[in-house]
Structure 1
Amino acid sequence: MKNPLAKHAWSPYLVGAGIGVLSWFAFWSANHPLGITTAFEHTVALGMEAVAPQFAESNSYYQDHSPKIGWEWMLVVGVLLGSLLSSFSSGDREPVVIPAMWQRRFGNSAALRLSVAFFAAGLMMFGARLAQGCTSGHGISGSLQLAASSWIFSITFFTVAILTAFLLYGRRTSEDV
């Protein structure tokens, strides 16, 4: 029997069940939903507090949300370590800077690819904070709680992602398969 950790891709049903159990554990142990963007928000807030303490004293955010390095950061670390473990155990460590699909559409400029990726990540982080939750916060935890706002967020997120993919890459062709 092949080691399941050595697979390049796991069953989405198994992974979904695992995320569901992790979410239950988060609610049971911390009385808190899964979410990652709060960790980055708190890190920026702590940096602002260190650089401009007078700003922190006068800003209501710091009184309402005491920024800290908490369990959300442990989730970020866990995602990083889990990704590395998965990559090493499966042997899937190809250092792709420019995916073939991107290269066919936009050329082979690493600077362009990394600039767009950085801008898109910033835009997603801004959207996550504007929506008061990210794909894990709304899409997993909120949807599990049947929160209407999370279902609206998830539907909107997937719709925009699909439309963006079509706008950037066009329809799939036989040479993409």
Structure 2
Amino acid sequence: MKVDNSKEWHWFTGGILVSLLSVATYFIFAAIADRNYPFGITAGFGYIAAFFGNMFGGLSENPVIKRFGEKPDAFIEFFILIGLIAGGYTASKISGTLSPENIPAVWEKYHGKSLVKRYVFVLIGSVLLGYGAALAGGCTTGNILQGWAHLSLGSIVAGISFFAAGIITAKILYPKLGGNDASN
């Protein structure tokens, strides 16, 4: 599979847009939710879980879900989730790169065509990531985007650790992948 990189945004453009988003959300959240910390998306998922937990019972007493249900600004972060989905879809439509696929070519090359196996890996990874985000009180994305913007030493060290763990995981899942192999 040949990847056409000519339609991708330049890294500098993406960096400027993320910086503008960071500054804008900081001030918007300060005005709307009376909070002085930057944006994140983990609370949006927590808000959804708390909403359904309160609706159906049982989950509403879970301490993690209860914490999100008691945060009024978590509702605002729910709209960030909606914006992420809508923004990603819109950007891919504008750039002409929208092409959903259940099994990417690289996955198929190393792990086969089993859709069940692919979805099991996605589910396990998603649950682990969500559990880790709940334990940490936030996700890696918010930690890196906001922490690095504030030059937080803890966030910088954590971000480097996240990238190192990602590289190690990729080497385990795709042991022979190297160079431009993903675009062939």
Is residue 35–residue 137 contact of structure 1 (8 Å, CA) maintained in 2?
Answer: yes
Is residue 54–residue 60 contact of structure 2 (8 Å, CA) maintained in 1?
Answer: yes
Which consecutive unaligned segments of at least 5 residues does structure 1 have? Answer: 1-6
SS of equivalent residue, structure 2 residue 7: coil
Provide the alpha-carbon RMSD of the alignment: 2.6
SS of equivalent residue, structure 1 residue 70: helix
Partner residue in 1 for 2:115: 110
Is residue 34–residue 140 contact of structure 1 (8 Å, CA) maintained in 2?
Answer: no
Q: TM-score scaled to structure 1, two decimals? A: 0.83
Is residue 50–residue 69 contact of structure 2 (8 Å, CA) maintained in 1?
Answer: no
Number of paired residues? 170
1:134 CA displacement: 1.1
Q: Equivalents in 1 of 2:120, 2:147: separation in Å?
A: 31
1:108 CA displacement: 0.4
- Could you tell me which of 61, 67, 72 is aligned with 2:77? 72
Partner residue in 2 for 1:22: 21
1:117 CA displacement: 0.9
Partner residue in 2 for 1:101: 106
Partner residue in 1 for 2:33: none
Identity %: 26
Map 1:1-177; keep pairs closer than 5 Å.
8-31=7-30, 32-52=37-57, 56=61, 62=66, 66-68=70-72, 70-173=75-178, 176=181, 177=183
Letter in 1 for 2:70: S
Q: Equivalents in 1 of 2:66, 2:131: separation in Å?
A: 19
* 1:34-58 per-position Cα deviation (integer Å, ceiling 9, x unaligned): 21111111211222222227954x9
Q: Equivalents in 2 of 1:141, 1:174: separation in Å?
A: 31
Q: Equivalents in 1 of 2:103, 2:68: separation in Å?
A: 42
* 1:18-69 per-position Cα deviation (integer Å, ceiling 9, x unaligned): 111111111112133121111111211222222227954x969747861456
Which consecutive unaligned segments of at least 5 residues does structure 2 have? Answer: 1-5, 31-36
Letter in 2 for 1:66: E
Q: Equivalents in 1 of 2:95, 2:68: separation in Å?
A: 44
Q: TM-score scaled to structure 2, two decimals? A: 0.80
Q: Equivalents in 2 of 1:35, 1:10: separation in Å?
A: 23
Q: Equivalents in 1 of 2:59, 2:78: separation in Å?
A: 26
